[in-house]
Amino acid sequence: MLLQNAIADALNNSEWAFPLAECLHIGGFAVGVGSIALVDLRMLNLGLRHETAARILRYTEPWTLIALVFVVFSGMALFLSQVNIYLINPIFPLKMYVLVAALIYNFTVHRKVAAMENPSPALSKSVAIVSVLLWVSIVFGGIFTGFLE
């Protein structure tokens, strides 16, 4: 509660804190989702064909992790600054369920299949498509949270 009040005060009383948190949130998901999408692109065999998905996963994963930490923490700050509004929002809880699903999926199924040496193309492609759909729907969820109150 104290923490919540402190964060809410900081974001609501300073002119630049709220937009800064929003920019970190957008920049974070651009890097996070964008880096996961590169692995998906390879799994769909649509780009970077000279390198394996496993290698691309290894290159992108540190960036994905750092970015997701930024997104989640800036998102928590934005949430705590206006808890009451988010709790009655019809879209926000949906976004959170999909987010939890996407995070679990990304670090279990997606990671495992991307790291496989010779996955069947059908498996790779379906895993990548589900990944893209999950992350894109979270972006849509974020915008719709703001529009449907």
Partner 1 sequence: MSIAHSLESIGFLSDFSESVLVYPIVLSTHLTCIALFGGMILMTNLRLLGLTFKSVTITEMVTSLRPWKRGGGVVMICAGILLAASEAEKYAPNYYFWTKMVTLGLIGVHGLVFRPLVYNNTEELDRSPVIPAKAKIAAILSLVLWTTMFTMGRLIAYYEP
Q: Which residues bind partner 1 (CB under 8 A)?
A: 19, 22-23, 26-27, 29-31, 33-38, 41, 46-51, 55-56, 59-60, 63, 135-136, 139-140, 142-144, 146-148
CB of 136 to partner 1, least distance (A): 5
Nearer to partner 1, 104 or 148 (CB): 148
Helix or strand run (H / E) with residue 145:
helix 121-147
DSSP string, 54-116: HHHHHHHHHHHHHHHHHHHHHHHHHHHHTHHHHHT-SSHHHHHHHHHHHHHHIIIIIHHHHH-
Least separation in angstroms between CB 84 and partner 1: 21
Tokens describing residue 120:
């069947």
Residue closer to partner 1 by CB (options 4, 69) is: 69
Q: How far is the CB of 128 from partner 1 (least distance, A)?
A: 13
CB of residue 51 to partner 1, shortest distance in Å = 5
Q: Which CB atom, from 23 or from 100, has the smaller least distance to partner 1?
A: 23
Q: Which of 105, 113, 111, 112 is nearest to 130 (CA)?
A: 105
Pairwise CA distance, residues 71 & 28, whole Å: 5
